[in-house]
Chains A and B, each alone.
Chain A
Amino acid sequence: MPARSDGEWRLALPVAAFFALFFVAPLGVLFVVSLFAEPTMQTLALRQYARFLGDRLHLGILADTLVLGVKATLVCLLLGYPLAWVIARARPRVQSLLVFAVILPLLTSVVVRTFAWIVILGRQGILNKTLLAVGLVDEPVRLLFTELGVVIVLAQVQLPLMVLPLLTTFGRIDPNLADASAALGAGQWRTFARIIAPLSLPGVAAGCVLVYAACVTAFVTQTLIGGARLIYVPLFMYQQATGANDWPFAAAIAIVFMFAVLFVVVLINTVGRSRRALVHG
């Protein structure tokens, strides 16, 4: 073992160099910019952080964004979990077709997918016209420019990121386990609750992390569907950077936002891992 691994770490050098050059270094620059007290970048101070963290409006925007991610991720999980299960259980030919259908949205740009949703959710959109025609509502429901609308669109747009990791996890669960559980007298629900669900947790955690990170940073979807009245951190950051030309403040928001998202991601991972230890331990 030691003889074989000797020097193999060097294979990671190119990607490490790439990472250092194009991610760590710019991140460092971002951090330094965030330490300037004024847009003209002359004196160093922690003023920008105090400005963001000491204002209820700003904290509200941060909280809204983090909560938006939680909602969209939950909807994604709710829709994605059964879907992944069905796909995992399908016959090989059907399965490859279904997987293709899941991946298909990833092949079109997120801008196009989001614009399609504007046509669906608008006051004169397909959804409202249908609801009106069927007589379920008397006047158009407001969906565009509401948080509900943003959650719906994010859940659809990011669904593949949830389904794919789940699919891998389901594929790895030994079918004999379910049979053994049945042979020992457990019903289907019990087998699911005691065997399948815990074993699929790593996939759930991976899917949730991917979807969450994608949802909270989804600038295009948030701004096109949410409009200017629902402000989330990405739009707020953009306004500060380009509209107000206040780079230090925008940089500070970016840093705070990164740590806030990181915290949630670590939380999700911890939950996934602790349950995994419980199953295997």
Chain B
Amino acid sequence: MTPSMDRRTFVRGGLAVGIGALSPGHADARDQLVVATFPGTWNEVHRDILAPYFQKKTNADVTQTIMLATDQVAKLAATRGQPPFDVAILDEGPTLDAIKQGVLEKYPAARSAHFNELLPPFRGEWGPAISMQTIGLAYNPKKIKTPPRSWDDLWNPAYKGRVGLTALNSSLGMAFIVELARLKGGGESNLEPGFRALRTLLPNVGAISANLGAHSALIQQEQVDIAVHNFNFIETLKGKGVDVDWVKPETGAPAWRTNLHIVKGAQRPDLAFEYIEGHITPEVQAAMAKPPHFVIPTNRKVVLGGAIVDKVARTPDELTRLVFHDWTKINEVRAAAIERFTREIKL
């Protein structure tokens, strides 16, 4: 200790500096909004299309953090009242969970300029559906010459060890098993036929990815040649030059709404609202619907085109008639289904 500085002064000074470092920083010159986004296509369109639009409109900055839907709900429930982000992006199932947990705000639709331009099924009370995701058969056209047509093609003996699936902790995994169950005489509340079918598929299954990020890598690294996957994710990969294509199964493509929500206790609900508004404007949705992302629009003013028309739906009306499952029922059986999946696929 230097003689010129008395010990107590040193300790107090040190404490003051320490506390200063720990306390939240002072407000920046520009306003700041923190939002959640999904990996893959979503992260790209939010960063390249929505963020610039939002910044121009509000003169505020936005930080986008990549998080899966179930992780977002878990984080919001754990930090009640002090949410780490202001806008959540959730698929239908997790949205219902989040509503039950009481971590969302209702969407002020009355103040919205674009809410009523959305197709009716996409006008959510707790936040608009900004898009929908739909799943089908992704395959490597270099390895599989005849494009698959239905889910049954996954059972083709020629595909032994070449099929890729994903675990049930994503909407993709869950929607697939529900669809299997539905086609085999069960449904959302009776997954038994789905699990029975899945067991017979196991000899063909080459890999089951633990999460969505790893799922795309399966195809990119040619670990599998045919897989259940999202329309947008595959179109984005294709746009990057990966040998992959996507087919809507004959029995219809399962689809679910993807919603944006203002989080309860948000630090900047005003900016959160503006951000979500941006996402439902015709211009932003039209930009996102272009190649290579092909994010399916929910605003009926957006003209459908490209791969969306070729592969998913020719008209906005047709979009609302894809195979939508009842996620309220799915949520009731989800925990048990995850447990069962773990038990039965771990052979």
Residue ranges of A at the interface with B (Cβ–Cβ < 8 Å): 39, 57, 60, 115, 118-119, 122-125, 144-145, 223-224, 226-231, 235-236, 238-239, 241-246
Q: Are B343 and A226 in contact (CB under 8 A)?
A: no
Give CA–CA (A246, B334) in the complex, Å.
11
Give CA–CA (A239, B339) in the complex, Å.
9
Task: Decide yes or no: A239 and B223 within 8 Å by CB, A224-B210, A227-B210 being known contacts.
Answer: no
Choice from B70, B71, B210, B222 contacting A235 with Cβ under 8 Å: B210
- Least CB distance, A29 to chain B, in whole angstroms: 10
Chain B contacts for A235, CB-based, 8 A: 210
Q: Are A228 and B222 in contact (CB under 8 A)?
A: no
Task: Decide yes or no: A229 and B214 within 8 Å by CB, A124-B222, A125-B221, A245-B335 being known contacts.
Answer: no
Chain A contacts for B214, CB-based, 8 A: 223-224, 227
- Least CB distance, A244 to chain B, in whole angstroms: 4
Q: Are B335 and A118 in contact (CB under 8 A)?
A: no
CB closest residue in chain A, given B202: A229
- Least CB distance, A34 to chain B, in whole angstroms: 15
Give CA–CA (A238, B74) in the complex, Å.
11
B319 within 8 A of A: no
Task: Decide yes or no: A229 and B335 within 8 Å by CB, A125-B221, A224-B214, A242-B74 being known contacts.
Answer: no
Chain A contacts for B70, CB-based, 8 A: 242-243, 245
Give CA–CA (A123, B346) in the complex, Å.
21
Range of interface residues on B (Cβ < 8 Å): 20 to 34
Give CA–CA (A236, B217) in the complex, Å.
21
Q: Are B335 and A246 in contact (CB under 8 A)?
A: yes
Scan B322-347; emit 1 where CB is below 8 A from any A CB, else 0. 00000000000011001100110110
- Least CB distance, A13 to chain B, in whole angstroms: 11
Q: Are A123 and B74 in contact (CB under 8 A)?
A: no
Give CA–CA (A91, B37) in the complex, Å.
52
Q: Are B223 and A122 in contact (CB under 8 A)?
A: yes
Give CA–CA (A224, B338) in the complex, Å.
19
Q: Are A227 and B221 in contact (CB under 8 A)?
A: no
Q: Are A244 and B338 in contact (CB under 8 A)?
A: yes
Q: Are A239 and B167 in contact (CB under 8 A)?
A: yes
Q: Are B221 and A122 in contact (CB under 8 A)?
A: yes
Q: Are B71 and A119 in contact (CB under 8 A)?
A: no
- Least CB distance, A211 to chain B, in whole angstroms: 23
Scan B190-208; emit 1 where CB is below 8 A from any A CB, else 0. 0000000000000000111
Chain B contacts for A224, CB-based, 8 A: 210, 214
Chain B contacts for A118, CB-based, 8 A: 217, 221
Q: Are B208 and A228 in contact (CB under 8 A)?
A: yes
Q: Are B338 and A243 in contact (CB under 8 A)?
A: yes
B166 within 8 A of A: yes
Q: Are B208 and A243 in contact (CB under 8 A)?
A: no
Task: Give the most central of A226, A228, A239: most B CB within 10 Å.
Answer: A228
Chain B contacts for A229, CB-based, 8 A: 207-208, 345-346
Chain B contacts for A230, CB-based, 8 A: 346
- Least CB distance, A53 to chain B, in whole angstroms: 16
CB closest residue in chain A, given B343: A57
Residue ranges of B at the interface with A (Cβ–Cβ < 8 Å): 68, 70-71, 73-74, 97, 166-169, 206-211, 214, 217, 221-223, 334-335, 338-339, 342-343, 345-346
Chain B contacts for A246, CB-based, 8 A: 335
Q: Are A57 and B346 in contact (CB under 8 A)?
A: yes
Q: Are A123 and B338 in contact (CB under 8 A)?
A: no
Chain A contacts for B208, CB-based, 8 A: 145, 227-229
Chain B contacts for A241, CB-based, 8 A: 74
Task: Decide yes or no: A119 and B334 within 8 Å by CB, A242-B74, A243-B70 being known contacts.
Answer: no
Chain A to chain B contacts (Cβ below 8 Å), 25 pairs:
A57-B346, A118-B221, A123-B221, A123-B222, A123-B223, A124-B221, A124-B223, A144-B207, A145-B207, A223-B211, A224-B210, A226-B210, A227-B207, A227-B214, A229-B345, A235-B210, A236-B342, A238-B169, A239-B342, A242-B68, A242-B71, A243-B168, A244-B339, A245-B74, A245-B97
Chain B contacts for A223, CB-based, 8 A: 210-211, 214
- Least CB distance, A69 to chain B, in whole angstroms: 19
Task: Decide yes or no: A228 and B334 within 8 Å by CB, A57-B342, A123-B221 being known contacts.
Answer: no
Task: Give the most central of B73, B210, B339: most A CB within 10 Å.
Answer: B210
Give CA–CA (A115, B218) in the complex, Å.
12
**Knowing that A145-B207, A228-B209, A236-B342 are A-B contacts, what are 11 other residue pairs whose CB atoms are under 8 Å apart, sorted by A's residue number?**
A60-B346, A123-B223, A124-B223, A145-B208, A223-B210, A226-B210, A227-B208, A229-B208, A231-B346, A242-B70, A244-B335
CB closest residue in chain B, given A122: B221
Give CA–CA (A242, B339) in the complex, Å.
13
Chain A contacts for B211, CB-based, 8 A: 223
Chain B contacts for A145, CB-based, 8 A: 207-208, 223
Chain A contacts for B338, CB-based, 8 A: 239, 243-244
Give CA–CA (A163, B221) in the complex, Å.
32
Choice from B209, B342, B343 contacting A227 with Cβ under 8 Å: B209
